[in-house]
Amino acid sequence: MDILIKPIVTEKMNAQGERFNRYGFVVRRNATKQQIKHAVESLYNVSVDTVNTMVYGGKVKSRFTKAGVISGKTAAYKKAVVTLAKGESIDFYSNI
């Protein structure tokens, strides 16, 4: 699906997955909660309880080099935290 870009696999999200049954995904900026829910349910064959979304704006970054100061900006993205029904789980490492 083109709604889900990639799963978020960090220590914090792994801890939330084990403790609260929550999993994080980077999603398209214009994706709605209903689209995200349908995409996760169809891709991973699980039932989703809730979807929480947040939009992160890009940060302005600069670094100092021999040629001078180089300025740039990181990309903005949207993150979705999906809570699954009790007894459901997603294994991101099963197809490696």
* Domain range list for the chain: 4-84
Q: Domain 4-84 adopts which CATH fold?
A: Alpha-Beta Plaits (3.30.70)
pLDDT in tens, 2-37: 899 999 999 999 999 999 999 999 999 999 999 999
> What's this model's pTM, rounded to 2 decimal places?
0.86
pLDDT in tens, 45-87: 999 999 999 999 999 999 999 999 999 999 999 999 999 999 9
Question: Hey, how many other C-beta atoms are within 10 angstroms of the C-beta on 30?
Answer: 8
User: Nearest Cα to 78, choosing from 59, 96, 52, 60?
Assistant: 52
Q: Which residue stretches of 1-96 are H helix?
A: 11-20, 33-44
